[in-house]
Structure 1
Amino acid sequence: MADQEQTPVFQIQRMYLKDLSLEQPNSPQILTEQQPPQVEINLGVSAETITDGIYEVCVTATVTTKIADKTLFLVEAKQAGIFEIRNIPQDQLQAIIGIACPGMVYPYLRAIISDICTRAGFPPVMLAEVNFQAMYEAQQQQLAAQGNGGDVA
């Protein structure tokens, strides 16, 4: 029985859309513009402990599309997952929460962004693949430079 208690556990408990927003502040006038839009995409990852061994990991995307200085549309979506992670060393736990979990959540977020743009009457915005390991390592380096221990969970 003691061996079972020490067995590493990594399970997806649930994936869900936590927040979704679409704004078209300059419609319908801007829809007649013929210029190609400029698209800006910002991504963020956050994690929090729900209870012992249970973590919520959120990946947020904000897509801002402008023609000249006017917003064509703005989409913000937050996709989340709840993960059970137990009996993992702390240094590995942080990497799992910062790399593996966002990597599992992100495909759902990509689909939602593409779908909401299409449903709003625009061509789909296809979010590029993301190297969450590089993102995590850059975050850890930044935290180390600030003198913080870099705890994710």
Structure 2
Amino acid sequence: MAEEGDVLTDLNNNAAAGNGADTQPAAGIITQYVKDMSVENPNAPDSYQWQEQPKMDVQFNIGAEPISNEVTEVTLKMNINASTEQGTIYIVELDYCGLVGIRNIPEDQAHAFLFAEAPRILFPFARRVVADAVRDAGFPPLMVDPVDFNGLYVQQLQAKRAQEEAGGGDTPATGGDA
């Protein structure tokens, strides 16, 4: 019977080329973590008495920072502001990150993975962090609606191409905001 280590060795050997180079495409989340978080409750304790349903403003931003040739830190930033006519109820700012490993994948596919697929994978965990933070601030947990990161990515690519075709060729690369 093969040991677990033997199975991993066999998988690694099968993925290696004859010259020992790893040629199989691979992409995945190595680890994920809260990098920065802020929860503000600026009008407490008065805000606990307000009866008006809050207006929610939820903003997302996606960033990617190379750590090495094969590892990139993807940051899913969430900024949430709950307010009423009386004032701000709470503000939550979260930078939720994942270290993403990518090997032997074409640049355009790697870009799509970093700015569409990785945020999709990270989102449920970031949503849970936000829900717990809002609950811990003394309010009902906020369950942010699911986000179509792939759809947003495609929209940004199309907008960038349209802008370039209209003569705005000096636009920054897609991938900052989502």
TM over 0.5: yes
CA distance in 2 between partners of 1:142 and 1:40 (Å): 23
**1:12 to 2:29 alignment:** yes
Deviation at 1:121, TM superposition (A): 0.8
Richer in strand (by share): 1
**1:2 to 2:8 alignment:** no
Contact 1:140 1:150 in 2 (8 A): no
| TM-score normalised by length of structure 1 | 0.91
Structure 1: tracts of 5 or more residues without a match: none
Q: How does 1:20-99 map to 2 (within 5 A)?
A: 20-99=37-116
Contact 2:30 2:100 in 1 (8 A): yes
Larger radius of gyration: 2
Structure 2: tracts of 5 or more residues without a match: 1-15
Contact 1:117 1:124 in 2 (8 A): yes
Contact 1:94 1:151 in 2 (8 A): no
Q: Which secondary structure does the structure 1 equivalent of 2:67 belong to? A: strand
RMSD of aligned Cα (Å): 1.9
CA distance in 1 between partners of 2:174 and 2:80 (Å): 28
Contact 2:37 2:93 in 1 (8 A): yes
2:7 aligned partner: none
CA distance in 1 between partners of 2:131 and 2:98 (Å): 19
1:119 aligned partner: 136
CA distance in 2 between partners of 1:152 and 1:37 (Å): 31
| TM-score normalised by length of structure 2 | 0.79
Q: Which secondary structure does the structure 2 equivalent of 1:2 belong to? A: coil
User: Residue 121 and residue 152 in structure 1: after superposition, are their counterparts in 2 closer, same or farther (change >3 A)?
Assistant: closer
Matched AA of 2:124: P
CA distance in 2 between partners of 1:151 and 1:136 (Å): 8
Which structure carries more relative contact order (alpha carbon 8 Å, separation 6+)?
1
User: Residue 86 and residue 152 in structure 1: after superposition, are their counterparts in 2 closer, same or farther (change >3 A)?
Assistant: farther
The share of aligned pairs that are identical, in percent, is: 30
